[in-house]
């Protein structure tokens, strides 16, 4: 199964207030294993960057002024996500901004049925605990030492690890087969299979040889008062 874990950075909290996307980071998972395929862009929001948002992600007006507009990256983004489920933390926020930008481009919205919200999953699995991305990384022992500021790609990478742990750990759906992996890292067509090319090693002989058994018997004969003889004498 192919899934996309993604995160966004924005100029504010709501597209209804005129706020825009400034960064998208996305990670491809196949059967909850990272394939190495990513999507990452910075976007010119065509507006100023409020100081409150800048304090969160550190993306300045000067830095974003030379970046491409969303409509210039739209096709590449849609091609990357395909029709896969989309995993995000507090996903309504990210979906709201993605769909607002798609509407500006006169493109169809991403269906909410595709949304997988890790915040909702965490609240169900760990009621009463803290559910921020930082808190979940701490819970699962995920290294977040590089997360000084929010960044869409780094946060997506961290969230991918959190998502796997929330869903039961790294062995879910992992099966090794001899076939070559698909060139684009997508689903091979066989359910719950990650294709890895790996040579099959012949079974190793584990039965002791006659010489090894003789050496072992000689060694045992040098032991003084072995436990098994002490126990036998007590009986």
Task: Give the domain CATH number at 60.
Answer: 3.30.420.10
* pLDDT score recorded for residue 132: 93
> 150, 187, 206, 216: which one is catalytic?
150
User: Is residue 61 domain-resident?
Assistant: yes
User: Is residue 29 domain-resident?
Assistant: yes
* pLDDT score recorded for residue 191: 39
**Could you confirm whether 150 is annotated as catalytic?**
yes
- Burial of 54 from C-beta contacts in 10 A (0-12 / 13-18 / 19+): middle
User: Is residue 195 domain-resident?
Assistant: no
User: Is residue 216 domain-resident?
Assistant: no
* pLDDT score recorded for residue 178: 41
Nearest to 177 by CA among 195, 192, 190, 189: 195
* pLDDT score recorded for residue 167: 92
User: Is residue 89 domain-resident?
Assistant: yes
* pLDDT score recorded for residue 143: 87
Give me the residues of the chain with pLDDT under 50, please.
171-197
* pLDDT score recorded for residue 149: 62
Rounded Cα–Cα distance for residues 156 and 146 (Å):
13
Token couple for 171 = 């062995």
* pLDDT score recorded for residue 217: 82
How many domains, in total, are found in the chain? Answer: 1
Please check whether residue 162 is in contact with residue 137, taking contact to mean a CB–CB distance below 8 angstroms: yes
* pLDDT score recorded for residue 231: 58
User: Is residue 146 domain-resident?
Assistant: yes
């Amino acid at each position: 199964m192919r899934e996309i874990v993604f995160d966004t950075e924005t100029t504010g909290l709501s597209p209804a207030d005129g706020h825009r996307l400034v960064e998208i980071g996305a990670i491809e998972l196949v059967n909850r294993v990272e394939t190495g395929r990513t999507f990452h862009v910075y976007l010119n929001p065509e507006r100023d960057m409020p100081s409150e948002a800048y304090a969160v992600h550190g993306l300045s007006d000067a830095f974003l002024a030379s970046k491409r507009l969303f409509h210039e990256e739209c096709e590449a983004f849609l091609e990357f996500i395909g029709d896969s489920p989309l995993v995000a933390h507090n996903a309504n926020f990210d979906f709201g901004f993605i769909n607002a930008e798609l509407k500006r481009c006169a493109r169809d919205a991403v269906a909410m049925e595709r949304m997988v919200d890790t915040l909702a999953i965490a609240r169900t699995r760990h009621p009463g605990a803290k559910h921020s991305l930082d808190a979940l990384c701490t819970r699962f022992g995920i290294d977040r030492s590089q997360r000084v500021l929010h960044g869409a790609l780094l946060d997506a990478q961290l969230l991918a690890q959190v998502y796997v742990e929330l869903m039961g750990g790294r062995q879910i759906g992992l099966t090794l087969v001899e076939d070559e992996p698909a060139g684009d890292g997508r689903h091979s067509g066989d359910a719950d299979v990650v294709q890895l090319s790996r040579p099959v090693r012949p079974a190793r002989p584990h039965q002791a040889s006659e010489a090894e058994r003789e050496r072992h018997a000689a060694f045992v004969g040098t032991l003084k008062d072995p436990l098994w003889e002490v126990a036998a004498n007590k009986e």
